[in-house]
Amino acid sequence: MTDVQPLVKTLDFQLDIQSGDESLLYDATLEARSVYNETIRLAKDGADWDTIPDRVADDADLVKNTTQRVVAKALSAMENYYEYEEFGQPSHTKDGAYPIRANFEEGYNLSLNDDGDVAFRISAKPYKHIKGALKGSDAHLDILKTALASEEWNIGTAEVLFHNDNSELHINVTNTEQTVRDKRDSRTVVGVDVNEDNVALTALSTDGVEDTLVIDFPEIKFERHRYFTMRKRVQNAGKDGTHDTLEGCEERFVHDRLHKVSRHIVKWSRQFEKPCIVFEDLKEMRDSIDYGTRMNRRLHHLPFRALQFYTSYKASFKRIPTVWINPECTSQRCPMCGHTERANRNKKRFKRKDCDHQDHSDRGASINIAVKGIKKLDWNVPALNNLPVVRKVRRQPSGAVDAPTVTHPTVRG
């Protein structure tokens, strides 16, 4: 029987502190390090582990719940040392800060305020609290707001830490009612090729290509360029406040479109038997981009990773697993013969001279992504002799609208 995994997410947020002293948080992380070190020292000296939490708590200048969480983390490190050979003995002389760990509604609290923001209260020290609002990605905020409003979700342990001198809160949330199916139990892979103005999808099973779809969203590129032009104008006019307002409008527009497209991807994928969604791992893509100032600006601001993340977490809510593959040659490789030489791409048209294969270039890339996903799952790659006609849809405010098919026939000699 294939294992299933509970839906667990770690959500990262920045702290917008509105009352209280941020230095108090940093002092608490130093105290947490002292608690950790003392716990390790006592465990090494042979103290009874059951007595360590109370012994350490007596001298700790932390909320009791926070002290207990840090002690539990330290003892877990000792357990790993004794149980697994690859874990070395933890040190009890570490310097610097250590994350403050706390349970929900004990060491920290969350609530929705009238503005729709998520407010926090963190007990940094006994009777000393830090209050403010959480800032972060729309995707993480959406999940947290859902967890706060739904009884199906459990909000668990959180950590307060400092990253690049900025305070952050990392929260674990779990939905025990939903599970993500094991990717090994899949029957169909859906290759997703994310581009500047569309996303191409191909569903591939052991029988071959089941279906293909291209979702156009040219308005994102258009609106980004329009807002960029407006910001440059107000910046030149010295109106900084207007600049910030325009940037916020642009972000809301783009996030709204990305959420709509990601929902469409998941809905389309669900029609196939036990789907697994396959993405290109584009983390290093921006480091290799250098096509001139104007093109670099366009490509560096494209929301590739955001769309992938939105799709991934929405898919997990439907028990659909995701897989990440190396993006090398997915756009240049011919899906019919497998070669990358003598292939020609002209906008949305792909043609390879040797095998006379012609196709929609982005659809071809999505097939190659799906093939790599199949290989990663250790399946046999099926024959790709017959490819369905490409169907295109365009996202509109009212939903997806079918557009005339624009493609090129597959020609085989």
Determine the structural domain holding residue 388 and report its residue range: 182-403
Co-location of 200 and 254 in the same domain: yes
Co-location of 199 and 345 in the same domain: yes
Co-location of 151 and 199 in the same domain: no
Residue ranges of alpha helices (H) inside 84-211 are: 138-149
Summarised one tens digit per residue, pLDDT across range 368-380 is: 999 999 999 999 8
Co-location of 158 and 191 in the same domain: no
Alpha carbon 1 to chain centroid distance? 29
The model's pTM: 0.58
Co-location of 138 and 274 in the same domain: no
Assign 3-state DSSP to the chain and report helix, strand, coil percentages, each to 5.
40, 30, 30
Q: What is the DSSP letter of 104?
A: B
Co-location of 215 and 364 in the same domain: yes
Co-location of 348 and 280 in the same domain: yes
Residue 359's domain is classified under what CATH number? 3.30.420.10
Residue ranges of alpha helices (H) inside 270-377 are: 293-300, 304-317, 361-376
Co-location of 89 and 211 in the same domain: no
Alpha carbon 189 to chain centroid distance? 19
For residue 130, give the H/E element and its range. Answer: strand 128-135
Which two tokens mark 163?
């990253």
Domain end marker among 145, 178, 211: 178
Domain end marker among 132, 151, 178: 178
Written as one letter, the residue type at 242 is: T
pLDDT of residue 245: 60
State yes or no: pLDDT of 158 exceeds 90. Answer: yes
Co-location of 171 and 308 in the same domain: no
Summarised one tens digit per residue, pLDDT across range 30-50 is: 999 999 999 999 999 999 999
Co-location of 142 and 280 in the same domain: no
Query: Counting beta carbons within 10 angstroms of the beta carbon of residue 238, is it exposed (0 to 12), middle (13 to 18) or buried (19 or more)?
Result: exposed
* Residue 405 pLDDT class (50, 70, 90 cuts): very low
Q: How far apart are CA 131 and CA 137, in angstroms?
A: 20
Co-location of 158 and 242 in the same domain: no
Q: How many residues are given for the chain?
A: 413
Alpha carbon 391 to chain centroid distance? 28
Summarised one tens digit per residue, pLDDT across range 114-144 is: 888 999 999 988 889 999 999 998 878 988 9
Domain end marker among 162, 178, 194: 178
How many domains is the chain partitioned into structurally? 2
Q: How far apart are CA 117 and CA 134, in angstroms?
A: 7
Co-location of 216 and 326 in the same domain: yes
Q: How far apart are CA 66 and CA 103, in angstroms?
A: 8
pLDDT of residue 27: 93
Summarised one tens digit per residue, pLDDT across range 236-255 is: 776 655 555 666 677 777 77
Question: Does a structural domain hold residue 413?
Answer: no
